[in-house]
Every structure is written in structure tokens, then in C-alpha cells.
Amino acid sequence: DIQMTQSPSSLSASVGDRVTITCRASQGINNYLAWFQQKPGKAPKSLIYAASSLLSGVPSRFSGSGSGTDFTLTISSLQPEDFATYYCQQYDSYPLDFGGGTKVEIK
């Protein structure tokens, strides 16, 4: 199995801040890396696939980068609706493992 390690596990930030979350795979995943946002009591929302491709309707302040085993999700200017937990996921091979999540809280 491929292990997905996210960091940090939580962070505090203010509206307008630039936020970066990292995700490391235990082996190469051919850039088959996705990012998701989940708010309490709500369904997850897909944000990014193929490491850097935004899904339709996702605000442009979200961006993804990286290759090989190291990837990042960046929120260029944090908005009130962005406070949530973010997960990365590899979909290169089964099982389709997720990272442990990063909780973005209000400072």
C-alpha cells in the first residue's frame, strides 16, 4: 500500500492569509494526486485532480502543485468559507488511500 502523509495536521490562519498544505506519498504516484475539502457534517468536495487540475467551479485561489512523491495545496488568500479539513488522496493504485487530513482553523 502507498502511505500518504499530510502536514501539518492542523493550522490556524487568518482571513487573507496564504495557506500551504503538504502531502507526501511513500512512493511515486505518477501525479495521480487529488485534494478534497470537508466541512463538519457536510459531504467532501473535490477540489483538484492530477496534482494541479482544478475541477469545475472551484475558486482560482486554490492551486495544487508537485510531482513524484511531494505535493502541495495552496490557498492564495484564505476566505471565511475555506475553514475546513483538507485531504489528499492518491489514485495511482489500489487501495486508494487518503492522507490523514489537515484542519484549517480560524486564528
Partner 1 sequence: EVQLVESGGGLVQAGGSLRLSCAVSGFTFSDHYMDWVRLAPGKGLEWVARSRNKARSYTTEYAASVKGRFTVSRDDSNKSLYLQMNSLETEDTAVYYCVRVLTGHNYPFDYWGQGTLVTVSS
Cβ proximity to partner 1, 29 vs 78, nearer residue: 29
Q: Which residue from 54, 86, 14, 6 is spatially nearest to 63, judged by alpha carbons?
A: 54
Task: Considering only the stretches 18-26, 42-50, 63-71, 74-82, report the one whose residues sit in contact with partner 1 under the rule CB under 8 A.
Answer: 42-50
Candidate list 2, 22, 45, 83; residue touching partner 1; CB under 8 A: 45
Task: Considering only the stretches 13-21, 39-47, 61-69, 71-79, report the one whose residues sit in contact with partner 1 under the rule CB under 8 A.
Answer: 39-47
Candidate list 89, 104, 105, 106; residue touching partner 1; CB under 8 A: 89
Candidate list 46, 52, 63, 76; residue touching partner 1; CB under 8 A: 46
Which residue, chain included where needed, has cell 475553514? 83
Candidate list 17, 22, 24, 32; residue touching partner 1; CB under 8 A: 32
What is the rounded CA–CA span in Å between residue 67 and residue 45? 22
C-alpha cell at 52: 494541479
